[in-house]
Amino acid sequence: MRVHETKRRGATRARKFLPISVHHLYNTPMDDQTEGSAAQAGPKTETQTDIDRDELTQLDPAYTTVLRIVAALTSLPFIIGALVLEIADLLPTGAIIAPVFLIALMLVLRLPMRRYQARGYRLDADRLRVVRGIWFNSDTVVPFARVQHIDVEQGPLERLFDLATLTVHTAGSHNASVHLPGLKHADATDMRETIRRAIGKEEF
């Protein structure tokens, strides 16, 4: 009898000092219910995100061409460097120029389209929403009450394709400036005046 009582006491003490990670194994039914609930809630969030995406206005298609020109100009020094190393014959033929050319091709053809599709905006009566990002999504909402001033900027390439960048400067240190490129110049100026009129109404 004493032997059995000793074994029972030892088992009770062992259960009291079980590690937390092992103790959770006894709660698998609750975990399964939690995972099931999360799985049911998941599609709703994704559907909501798709609806929000559908409500966004896309940028001007010419913005893709601007991005491709910038990517080509950025890739050009690397292609020239790869050609120089290829002519020096330091490695087997094609060992340098082939991968560099393929990467440059992806940066010029594929990436600009992905960036264009990942960007969008929505202008409401009291706020501006800007969405961007391929790997890291950024969804910024700017209430007009926090806007200090608005700029419409054009670089050489943007001027060539009649595009502009709308920059909204807000109060505060976090996201103090929100940039929206790829707009038609006329659309950017119209948005600037719309936001200015909304700010004027709020002040009065």
Query: Are 140 and 175 contacting, i.e. CB atoms less than 8 angstroms apart?
Result: yes
CB atoms within 10 A of CB 120: 21
Q: Label residue 182 by pLDDT band (50, 70, 90).
A: very high
Instruction: Give domain status of residue 130, yes or no.
Output: yes
The answer to the question of residue 40 being in a domain is no
| Number of C-beta neighbours around residue 79 at 10 A | 15
Instruction: State residue 158's pLDDT score.
Output: 96
β-partners of residue 164 are 183
Q: Report the sign of the C-alpha dihedral through residues 103, 105, 108, 113, in that order.
A: negative
Q: Could you tell me the pLDDT band of residue 203, with boundaries at 50, 70 and 90? A: low
In this structure, are 79 and 140 located in the same domain?
no
Strands 147-153 and 138-143, by their bridges, are unpaired
pLDDT of residue 131: 94
Give me the pLDDT at residue 66, please: 96
Q: What is the pLDDT of residue 37?
A: 38
Whether 109 is covered by a domain: the verdict is: yes
* Mean pLDDT, the chain, integer: 77
- pLDDT, tens digit (0-9, with 9 covering 90-100), for 155-174: 999 999 999 999 999 887 56
**Structure confidence at residue 152 (pLDDT):** 96
Band (124; pLDDT cuts 50, 70, 90): very high
pLDDT digits (tens, 9 = 90+) for 39-83: 333 333 333 444 466 689 999 999 999 999 999 999 999 999 999
- Examine the domain organization and report whether 127 and 113 are in the same domain: no
In a domain, 37, yes or no: no
In terms of domains, do 125 and 196 share one? yes
Q: Which of 32-41, 57-66, 141-150, 192-201 has the highest mean pLDDT?
A: 57-66
Same domain, 129 and 99: no
Q: Are residues 107 and 164 in the same domain?
A: no
Q: Which of 136-140, 157-161, 166-170, 187-191 has the lowest mean pLDDT?
A: 136-140
With the CA atoms of 6, 10, 11 and 13 taken in that order, what torsion angle do they form, in degrees rounded to the nearest 10?
140
194 within a domain of the structure (yes/no): yes
Q: Are residues 132 and 194 in the same domain?
A: yes
Q: Which of 72, 199, 107 is nearest to 145 (CA)?
A: 199
Residues 164, 94 share a domain: no
Domain that holds residue 78: 62-117
Residue 151 or 42, more confident:
151
The CATH number that applies at residue 156 is 2.30.29.30
Please indicate, yes or no, if residue 127 is contained in any of the structural domains: yes
For residues 4-21, give the mean pLDDT: 42
**Does 17 map to a domain?**
no
Per the model's pLDDT, the better-predicted residue between 71 and 89 turns out to be 71
82, 143: one domain: no
Count of the separate structural domains present in the chain:
2
Which pLDDT score is estimated for 135?
87
Looking at the structure, do residues 96 and 138 belong to the same domain, yes or no?
A: no
189 occurs within a structural domain: yes
